[in-house]
Amino acid sequence: MGPGGAEVAQMQKKFEGELVALKKIQKDLTKTTTLRSQLDGQLNENKVVKEELDLLDMNAVVYKLIGPALIRQDLEEARQNVGKRIDYIQQEIKRHENGMEDLEKKADEKRDCISKLQQQMQQIMIKAQGSQ
Partner 1 sequence: MFYDEDFYFRGEVMKKRSSSDTGGEKDGAGTKYSVQSLQNNLENLVQLQHEHRQRLELVEKEYNQLRKFKDDYLHLQKRLRTLPDKTSHEVMVPIGPLAFMPGRLIHTNEILVLLGDNWFAERSAKEAAEIVKRRVKDCNEKIETAENQMNLHKNWLEETSGLFEEDKDQVEIIEELTEEEFERSKEEHRKKLAEDYEKRKSSDQESRTEEETPEAGASTSQENFIEKLDEDDKKAYENLMKRLDQLEMEEDDESGGSQDADDYDRYIRHSETAEEIYSADDGAEHATGTEDTELSASGTPVLYKRNKRRVSWADDTRPLFTIIPDDNSESTYRIKYTTKQLSLPLIEWDPASARDTPEENIDQTDSSSAVIQSPSELYKTFGERRRSSLPDPPPRGILKKTHSSTAEASSSLCSSLIPTRMMKADRVFQTRWLMMLALLYL
Binding mask 57-86 toward partner 1 (x if CB under 8 A, else -) reads ---xxxxxxx---x-------x---x--x-
Of the residues 5, 12, 52, 123, which one makes contact with partner 1 according to CB under 8 A? 52
Q: How many CB atoms lie within 10 A of CB 126?
A: 10
Closer residue to partner 1, CB minimum distance, 25 or 82: 82
The candidate with the shortest Cα–Cα distance to 18, out of 95, 109, 80, 128, is 109
Rg, C-alpha atoms of the chain: 27
Q: Which of 8, 21, 29, 49 binds partner 1 (CB under 8 A)?
A: 49
Would you tell me how many other CB atoms lie within 10 Å of the CB of residue 84? 10
Q: Which residues bind partner 1 (CB under 8 A)?
A: 42, 45-46, 48-49, 52-53, 56, 60-66, 70, 78, 82, 85
